[in-house]
Amino acid sequence: MIKRYIIYGLIGWNTEVIWTGMHSLMVGDLRLSGFTNLWMFFIYGLAVFLEPIHDIISRWRWITRGIIWVLVIWGIEYATGFILENIINLKPWLYSGPYAVDGLIRLDYAPWWFAAGLIFEKIHRTLDVYILDNRV
């Protein structure tokens, strides 16, 4: 389980750096500055606890699974942001705009979280194939 936690944390970290780097390009910053913070490693690592959900819903239609992932990811994003903000007075992200909810989630990110959830399923299946010991 610890190995999987680390793998999910590293995948999330790298994805966020690429995502923010691509955003830099879209706003004209040719340095392609990508960034994240150490807290995000621990948050992305929590994906290991989503594996049992995937096991339960794996035979459901992809669209239903995608919607479930959006809701689950929003829940985790809101909860972890709320905890960090209220316990250690840290705002690891601050979303703004008409689709932001308390600065902790963005409703317009739903398509991206939908896709991320389905990609997570593929990563989970791959880990199950290559890491045969499910205690990993």
Element (H, E) at 15: helix 2-26
pLDDT recorded at residue 123:
95
pLDDT band at 134 (very low <50, low <70, confident <90, very high): low
- Tokens 């594996």, residue located: 51
The 10s digit of each residue's pLDDT in 36-91 is 999 999 999 999 999 999 999 999 999 999 999 999 999 999 999 999 999 999 88
The pTM score is 0.87
User: What percent of the chain lies above the pLDDT cut of 70?
Assistant: 96
Where are any strands of DSSP class E within the chain? 100-101, 105-106
54 in Cβ contact with 119 (< 8 Å): no
Q: Show Cβ contacts of residue 112 under 8 Å, excluding neighbours closer than 6 positions.
A: none
Q: Where are the domains of the chain?
A: 2-130
Separation of alpha carbons 56 and 75, rounded Å: 18
